[in-house]
Amino acid sequence: MTKSSIRSPKGPTVVNGILMGYSDDVLANLLTVKAKLCASKFELKIDDVVFIGHPLLLHPVSQETAKRELVTMISFNVVIALLAPIDREILMCYHNLTKQLAIALRHEERRCGLLSEQKRTIWSIQDEIAARPEDSQESPYGPILEKCRLSQQLKHVYDELCSSGVVQLYINKWVHINWCLPHKLHNLYMKDTSHTDTPTHVARPVFRPQKFLIEALRPYHGMLLLIDATTLLDSLPIDASPSLVRLIKVTSPFKSLQTLASDADISLRQVYQLVGHLVYWRKATIIFPLCEANVYVLSPNINTFVNSSLVEKCEESFPNVSLPVILSEFSVPSSLGDHKDVLGLPQQQAQEVQVVTWLLQHGLLVQLHTYVLMTPKFCKSWRQTSHHSVGTDDITDRTRLLSSNSDLNSTASDDSYSLGGRSLEAICDNEDNGPWCPQPEQILAGIRAMRNNKIGALDNQEELTLLARLCPYFDGKHHLEEIMYAENIRRSQLLTILDKFRDILITSQHEDPVISAWLYGAGIKRSRTS
Partner 1 sequence: MEDSTEDYDGERVVNAQEVYLLMNDDYKISRNSRINWYLSHLNSSSPISCHNEEGPRSLLDFNDKVVYRVTPSTVLMFLARAYRFVYVLDLSPSITAVDLHSGTVLLDEAFIKLQRSLKSLTKSFKLPGSEVKFVPKIYITVLCHTSLISCKENEVLLQGCLVTEENLDTILDQLRRDLESFENRMASSFEEITDLDYYEQAEGDKITFGLFEDSLDREDTSDPAMYVMSPEASFINLLRYDHSLFESLMMQLRHHTISCSFLQLGSGFQLQSGLGHVPYPELMEFIAEATNGVYYSKLPDVDMDVEGMLPLQQSILTQRLQKLLNISGFFMSQTPQDIPRIEISSQDENLVSSVHTRKHKERNLHISLSTLISCRLRDGYFIKNVSLIKGDSQIEVRLVLPWRPGVNINCVAVSVWPINANKCLSHIEISVEGSYHFITDITSHLKHKGFHNSYRVGLVLTYWQTIQSMSESDELLVHLHSFAANVVNYKVADSLKQGVPLFYLPPNQTSPQVNIQLSTKDNTLSQFATFWKPVLNLDINIWQKWMHTHRIGFILEHDVPLGKHLHIPNSSGRFHNATCRQASAALNFFLRDYSTFVLMENHSYVTLLPRDEDKPPWSFFVIRVASKPPCVVLRLAFLGDTPGHVRDEIITDLKKQLSVLRFLQRSPKKDDKNKMNISRRSSRHELEVKKHIPPLQRVSSEIPCCVLTSKPVEKILIR
User: Nearer to partner 1 by C-beta: 298 or 466?
Assistant: 466
User: Nearer to partner 1 by C-beta: 97 or 295?
Assistant: 97
User: Nearer to partner 1 by C-beta: 76 or 296?
Assistant: 76
In angstroms, give the least distance from the CB of 29 to partner 1. Answer: 25
Give the end-to-end CA distance of the chain in Å, rounded to a whole number.
Answer: 17
- Kindly state the DSSP code that residue 199 receives in the 8-state scheme: T
Q: Which stretch binds partner 1 (CB under 8 A): 12-20, 28-36, 276-284, 397-405?
A: 276-284
Interface with partner 1 (CB under 8 A), residue from 239, 316, 415, 462: 239
| CA gap 198, 206 in Å, rounded | 18
Size of the chain, expressed as the number of residues it contains: 530
Q: What is the dihedral of CA 37, 40, 46, 51, to 10 degrees?
A: 130
Residue 89 as a binder of partner 1 (CB under 8 A): the answer is no
In angstroms, give the least distance from the CB of 213 to partner 1. Answer: 7
| CA gap 468, 449 in Å, rounded | 14
In angstroms, give the least distance from the CB of 90 to partner 1. Answer: 12
Q: Provide the β-strand partners of residue 49.
A: 46, 83
Residue 126 as a binder of partner 1 (CB under 8 A): the answer is no
Residue 66 as a binder of partner 1 (CB under 8 A): the answer is no
Q: How many residues bind partner 1 (CB under 8 A)?
A: 77
In angstroms, give the least distance from the CB of 473 to partner 1. Answer: 7
Residue 99 as a binder of partner 1 (CB under 8 A): the answer is yes
> Phi and psi for 127 in degrees, rounded to 5?
-60, -45
| CA gap 156, 141 in Å, rounded | 15
The candidate with the shortest Cα–Cα distance to 494, out of 400, 369, 380, 364, is 369
What's CA 482's distance to the chain center, in Å?
Answer: 21
How big, in percent rounded to 5, are the helix, strand and coil portions of the chain?
55, 15, 30
| CA gap 413, 492 in Å, rounded | 29
Q: Is residue 288 helix, strand or coil?
A: coil
User: Nearer to partner 1 by C-beta: 246 or 491?
Assistant: 246
Interface with partner 1 (CB under 8 A), residue from 192, 263, 352, 432: 263
Residue 288 as a binder of partner 1 (CB under 8 A): the answer is no
In angstroms, give the least distance from the CB of 245 to partner 1. Answer: 7
Interface with partner 1 (CB under 8 A), residue from 236, 426, 455, 458: 236
What's CA 420's distance to the chain center, in Å?
Answer: 23
By CB under 8 A, the residues from 146 to 185 that bind partner 1 are 156, 168-170, 172-180
User: Nearer to partner 1 by C-beta: 19 or 99?
Assistant: 99
By CB under 8 A, the residues from 187 to 216 that bind partner 1 are 209-210, 213-215
